[in-house]
Chains A and B, each alone.
Chain A
Amino acid sequence: MRQRAVQWVVAAVLMATAGAWVALPTPAEAQTTATQHGKTLRDRLKIVGSRTMQPIVEALVEHYTGWTGHPKPEVDLKGSTDGIRRLCSGVGPQFPDIAVSSRRIHHNEVEICDDAGVGDLIEVAVGYDAVVLAMRSSDTPMALKLEHVYRAVAAVLPEGEEFEPNEHTTWDEIDPSLPKTEIRFLIPTEAAGTRGVFNDIFLEGGCRYVKEIRQIFDAVDRVERCTGIRTDGRVTEVEGADYIDDMIAKLRDAPPGTIAVMDYDLAHYAGIPLTLLPIEGIAPTPMSIALDDYDASTKHFLYFKKAHMPDASGKGVVHGIRQMIEETVSERAIGPGGYVVKLGLIALSNVELARQRHAALRLRRLDPTD
């Protein structure tokens, strides 16, 4: 009997704690938190990462500042890879608190984080997206395989026992079943997470089962041969702060058959009619992306640096990380019909949504093997 009473008390305390986590505080409560900045080393959050996630970051910041009363975070988006690198550089007021990324953090990046003493990262997936190959609707569509893309884009291709410069000029030279259309690509630069996904899935994925590549033991050597892109003018890297707008503008004026590599959500805001090409027989649709059937489907993430959160006495690098986590996993943000979904991401499934909330609100450490 006594044991049951104890169980009830513990359960009640846990429920009350969970409730406190999930419920967003009132502006007055948040203002109280905001006045504690004196104990922290910086008065506002610093957010870095993916440029393609800029609309999502802006929406999150607007809602976060609205209810917390905290100063507007400093946002500096130069790309997912750059953002993760800066997040993992160290602990202190000069380093960012949050990185947004259009791809998942890699194993070796987690190791770099650990080596720099960054410690626990909290990972929150905010929705599904995909990297797509888009053509103008007026061009002849193609059904491509990953290996086709690799053989079209790579700088060097295996020829016998050697690697020779890629001299394919039309698609039918790669596979006779493809049209006799000039090979032309517009791709983002290396700083973009979209490019990282393109390299990983289309280029490495396309060369993974090529015999001559498979015989190379060293991963670095293999990756260089697979992801090095040709420089003969058939592949154009689009760079600059507004590379997404530039990409659309360049695609509009490009020769027929040009393929642009972009995010699925952005393809819907292009302003020109586009055809999204199927890969390995599966077209990118909300369903195929959410079910992970489309090979280049991915998720967008936010990474929070736990080491920057204030301790029990209120001392730390910055206030507001916990509140930003709460805003990110709130129903109005990433729930079905939330503002993140309205900005173009595909909503997480209910199970995935619950899992993200559960892990994030308990500040669970990122597990790269999960």
Chain B
Amino acid sequence: MNRIIRFALAVGLGLAAPLSAVAQDRGASAPKSPTPTATVAQSSIAAPAADGGGIVDSAMQGVSDTVGAVVSIFNVTDVDSPASMLSKMKAARGFEFWAMVADAGFELKEADTDVGLIPEFSFKFDKARELSNADRVWLERKLRRHKQRHGGLAAKMKRGLIHALLEAHDLNEGFSLESFDVGFTPLPSLKFAVAPKDSRLLDKEHDALYRAILGNRAVTRRTAAPKGSAAGETKPANTR
């Protein structure tokens, strides 16, 4: 469990940096709605610039690399209509990363868009199957092969997420990871939902239900709602 919390914190911190740059980009293209976070990040990067270029350049490069990494992980560079999102998702699902997420036992359940002044966009993945020992060994082998073929920050972050999913399958304290959400806007975020292992439906019942809902993965489009409102927002009781 601690590993998950540590990973979530690390990802959160990792995403916080690119957030500022993403927000800056958005601020440039959408002049009316720069977020406060962007302003803070902008000043924190700009301040040391007066002292010397080297450190700033490397810091800026680091931020830029991280932004690139996050964007390339999910193959999403912009948020527009749900239709274009769907086509991007369809293309992205063929990628090795999505295959590894599926091999880790998770399937895309929802792509959630929220159109408004501050658009929101997130993916929700649900646990689709338990992993056997052989599944773990196979996925670990795939990750090793991936590491041999793909260097760089983006590839490392992809592997980091898959490793976290692998570890999260069976948390020692009697909990297991049931789903996770990846959000892109307004703030990049990663949200894990864990649940007690014995709360699951009987397996056969679950299998029947899962078969029944296959093909009905929903992309919901909602009108803009005030932040924090209950417009379709459901949150598991024990969400991390």
Binding site for B on A (CB under 8 A): 104, 106-108, 199-201, 204-205, 208, 214-223, 292, 369
Cross-chain contact of A104 among B128, B131, B135, B137 (Cβ < 8 A): B137
In the complex, residue of chain B having the shortest beta-carbon distance to the beta carbon of A114: B172
Please name all residues of chain B whose beta carbon is closer than 8 Å to the beta carbon of A208 when the two chains form the complex: 103, 135, 138
Please measure, in the bound complex, the distance between the C-alpha atom of A106 and the C-alpha atom of B167, giving whole angstroms.
14
Please name all residues of chain B whose beta carbon is closer than 8 Å to the beta carbon of A220 when the two chains form the complex: 132
Please measure, in the bound complex, the distance between the C-alpha atom of A214 and the C-alpha atom of B132, giving whole angstroms.
12
Please measure, in the bound complex, the distance between the C-alpha atom of A108 and the C-alpha atom of B172, giving whole angstroms.
12
Contact A200–B206 (Cβ < 8 Å): no
In the complex, residue of chain A having the shortest beta-carbon distance to the beta carbon of B133: A106
In the complex, residue of chain A having the shortest beta-carbon distance to the beta carbon of B132: A219
Nearest CB on B from A299, distance (A): 12
Contact B133–A107 (Cβ < 8 Å): yes
Is B80 in contact with chain A by the CB < 8 A criterion? no
With contacts A215-B210, A369-B167 taken as known, whether A108 is within 8 angstroms of B203 at the C-beta atoms is: no
Contact A200–B134 (Cβ < 8 Å): yes
Please name all residues of chain A whose beta carbon is closer than 8 Å to the beta carbon of B25 when the two chains form the complex: none
Nearest CB on A from B135, distance (A): 7
Please name all residues of chain B whose beta carbon is closer than 8 Å to the beta carbon of A201 when the two chains form the complex: 134, 138
Contact A215–B214 (Cβ < 8 Å): yes
In the complex, residue of chain B having the shortest beta-carbon distance to the beta carbon of A223: B132
Is B93 in contact with chain A by the CB < 8 A criterion? no
Contact B207–A216 (Cβ < 8 Å): yes
Cross-chain contact of A292 among B133, B134, B138, B141 (Cβ < 8 A): B141
Nearest CB on B from A273, distance (A): 31
Please name all residues of chain A whose beta carbon is closer than 8 Å to the beta carbon of B133 when the two chains form the complex: 106-108, 200
Nearest CB on B from A190, distance (A): 14
In the complex, residue of chain B having the shortest beta-carbon distance to the beta carbon of A368: B136
Please name all residues of chain B whose beta carbon is closer than 8 Å to the beta carbon of A205 when the two chains form the complex: 134, 138
Nearest CB on B from A204, distance (A): 4
Please name all residues of chain B whose beta carbon is closer than 8 Å to the beta carbon of A106 when the two chains form the complex: 133, 137
**Most-contacted residue by chain B among A106, A208, A219 (CB, 10 A):** A219
Is B221 in contact with chain A by the CB < 8 A criterion? no
Contact B137–A217 (Cβ < 8 Å): no
Is B96 in contact with chain A by the CB < 8 A criterion? no
Contact B203–A221 (Cβ < 8 Å): yes
Contact B134–A223 (Cβ < 8 Å): yes
Please measure, in the bound complex, the distance between the C-alpha atom of A218 and the C-alpha atom of B206, giving whole angstroms.
9
With contacts A214-B129, A292-B141, A292-B144 taken as known, whether A219 is within 8 angstroms of B206 at the C-beta atoms is: no
Is B57 in contact with chain A by the CB < 8 A criterion? no
Cross-chain contact of A222 among B129, B145, B167 (Cβ < 8 A): B129
Other A-B pairs beyond A200-B137, A217-B210, 20, CB < 8 Å: A104-B137, A106-B137, A107-B133, A108-B133, A201-B134, A204-B132, A204-B135, A204-B138, A205-B138, A214-B129, A215-B210, A216-B129, A217-B128, A217-B129, A217-B206, A218-B203, A219-B132, A292-B144, A369-B140, A369-B163
Please name all residues of chain B whose beta carbon is closer than 8 Å to the beta carbon of A107 when the two chains form the complex: 133, 136
**Most-contacted residue by chain A among B132, B135, B137, B140 (CB, 10 A):** B132
In the complex, residue of chain B having the shortest beta-carbon distance to the beta carbon of A161: B211
Cross-chain contact of B211 among A215, A219, A221, A223 (Cβ < 8 A): A215
Is B78 in contact with chain A by the CB < 8 A criterion? no
B:41-98 near A, CB below 8 Å: none
Please name all residues of chain B whose beta carbon is closer than 8 Å to the beta carbon of A108 when the two chains form the complex: 133
Cross-chain contact of A217 among B135, B141, B207 (Cβ < 8 A): B207
In the complex, residue of chain A having the shortest beta-carbon distance to the beta carbon of B136: A107
Please measure, in the bound complex, the distance between the C-alpha atom of A298 and the C-alpha atom of B168, giving whole angstroms.
25
Cβ contacts A to B, 9 pairs, < 8 Å = A106-B137, A107-B136, A200-B133, A205-B134, A215-B207, A217-B129, A219-B129, A219-B132, A292-B141
B:195-240 near A, CB below 8 Å: 203, 206-207, 210-211, 214
Nearest CB on A from B210, distance (A): 6
Please measure, in the bound complex, the distance between the C-alpha atom of A217 and the C-alpha atom of B210, giving whole angstroms.
9
Please name all residues of chain A whose beta carbon is closer than 8 Å to the beta carbon of B130 when the two chains form the complex: 217-219
Please name all residues of chain B whose beta carbon is closer than 8 Å to the beta carbon of A199 when the two chains form the complex: 134
Nearest CB on B from A114, distance (A): 10
Please measure, in the bound complex, the distance between the C-alpha atom of A200 and the C-alpha atom of B136, giving whole angstroms.
10
Nearest CB on A from B92, distance (A): 19
Contact A218–B137 (Cβ < 8 Å): no
Nearest CB on A from B102, distance (A): 8
Nearest CB on A from B166, distance (A): 8
Please measure, in the bound complex, the distance between the C-alpha atom of A215 and the C-alpha atom of B214, giving whole angstroms.
9
Please measure, in the bound complex, the distance between the C-alpha atom of A196 and the C-alpha atom of B56, giving whole angstroms.
54
Contact A292–B136 (Cβ < 8 Å): no
